[in-house]
Amino acid sequence: MVLSAALKKSMNNHVLYTFRRCPYAIRARLALANAGVNLELRELMLRDKPDDMLKHSPKGTVPVLITSGGQVIDESLDVMLWALQQNDPDNWLQKIDNSLKLIKENDEQFKPLLDRYKYADRYPELNETQHRNLTLPFIQSLNKRLQANDYLLSDRMTLADVALFPFIRQYAFVNKKWFDQLPIPALQNWLDDFLGSKLFIQVMPKYKLYNDGFQYHFPSVLP
């Protein structure tokens, strides 16, 4: 819904610049919604970034959170940590050192391989299948973890699960038919559980663009 003047006044005046499909933005929204952080959401297109966002974060990537106190947080993991420091109702910050280690592996090692697989035509030194094969050790390692536990680090969800999920989602949908036939049932079930969760549905409405005059209360209330 578009914010009314009265609704704007009732908010804490945190502002989030986001792009619906970006995995970095998705994981930030998941943490913010779970923490119950109320804010004004501003959806953008990456090719048409609002001047106000660039003024606060010249690097021009999403998410960008501007807190009511004027703090600018423009790294997704930092947004997640900030949100959960406000409120962590499900104790996602348990096993934080192990979570941060696995997130670093995802962000620094797996994500570049994912990009090369998804956009293989931009990296002609290998073909798509060869790029994809390089991703498999990490994918198989996650499946092995999930064979031992309900979640990546234990039988309870942690920051690592939430931070990695949007990237595994992106990976799976490069070629969903191929992904679904892989012998990794534990990871496939973990992904399906996330995709069907109320929290994921809550953070994925289709928003109209801030540059077209729209801003929204976040998180939205599920029926």
Residues 111-127: pLDDT tens digits? Answer: 999 999 999 999 999 99
Domain 5-90+201-218 has CATH 3.40.30.10: yes
Contact by Cβ (8 Å): 52, 103: no
pLDDT, position 177: 98
Query: How far is 69 from 174, CA to CA, in rounded Å?
Result: 40
Q: Where in the chain is the domain with CATH 1.20.1050.10?
A: 96-199
Q: What letter does residue 222 receive in the DSSP assignment?
A: P
d(CA 126, CA 139): 19
Single-letter residue type at 220: S
Question: What average pLDDT does the segment 149-178 reach?
Answer: 98
- Do the beta carbons of residue 103 and residue 159 sit within 8 Å? yes
Tally Cβ neighbours within 10 Å of residue 42.
23
Domain at 96-199: CATH code: 1.20.1050.10
Q: What is the pLDDT of residues 18-69, one digit of tens each?
A: 999 999 999 999 999 999 999 999 999 988 899 999 999 999 999 999 999 9
pLDDT band, residue 136 (cuts 50/70/90):
very high
Residue from 176, 175, 219 nearest 201 by CA: 219
What is the three-state SS of 141-196?
HHHHHHHHCCCCCCCCCCHHHHHHHHHHHHHHCCCHHHHHCCCCHHHHHHHHHHHC
* Confidence at 205, pLDDT banded by 50, 70, 90: very high
d(CA 109, CA 128) in angstroms, rounded, equals: 18
User: Measured between alpha carbons, how far is 62 from 25 in angstroms, rounded to an integer?
Assistant: 6
Among 83, 106, 108, smallest CA distance to 167 is for 106
User: According to the model, what pLDDT value does residue 4 have?
Assistant: 39
In the chain, residues under CATH classification 3.40.30.10 are 5-90+201-218
% the chain with pLDDT above 90? 91
CB 162, CB 30: distance < 8 Å: yes
Letter string b/e over residues 127-160, b meaning 16 or more CB atoms within 10 A of that residue's CB:
ebeebbeebeebbeebbebbeeeebbbbeebbbb
For residue 128, the 8-state DSSP code is: H
